[in-house]
Amino acid sequence: MNISGHDFIMGMSAIGAGIAMISGLGTGIGQGGAAGAAAAAVGRNPGAKSAVTSTMLLGQAVAETTGLYGFAVAIILLFVKPLG
């Protein structure tokens, strides 16, 4: 089997894109934990619903950026021509 340098780089780019998408796993776990904690907090103190909801949404937006960065890296690795 003879693998050229271009084939090797393209294969490694695909593997790197897959690894970059693992960031979505942490994002999902973090957002689920935040939503569960917010639901528990609202259950304990319904009067603080707006404060808890706004804090939760801010935290989820920050957590989502990790997943979006991973997605952007994966798209760049898959579709940008590394050898010109």
Angle at the Cα of 68 (from 67 to 69), degrees rounded to 5?
90
DSSP assignments along 5-48, one per residue: HHHHHHHHHHHHHHHHTTHHHHHHHHHHHHHHHHHHHHHH-GGG
What is the pLDDT confidence band of residue 63, given thresholds at 50, 70 and 90? confident
Break the chain into its structural domains and give their ranges: 27-77
Residue type, 78: L
Closest CA to 20 of 84, 83, 81, 79: 79
Angstrom distance (rounded) from CA 70 to CA 73 = 5
What is the tens place of the pLDDT at every residue in 4-52? Answer: 888 888 889 999 999 999 988 888 898 889 899 999 999 999 999 999 9
The structure's pTM equals 0.75
Angstrom distance (rounded) from CA 69 to CA 8 = 24
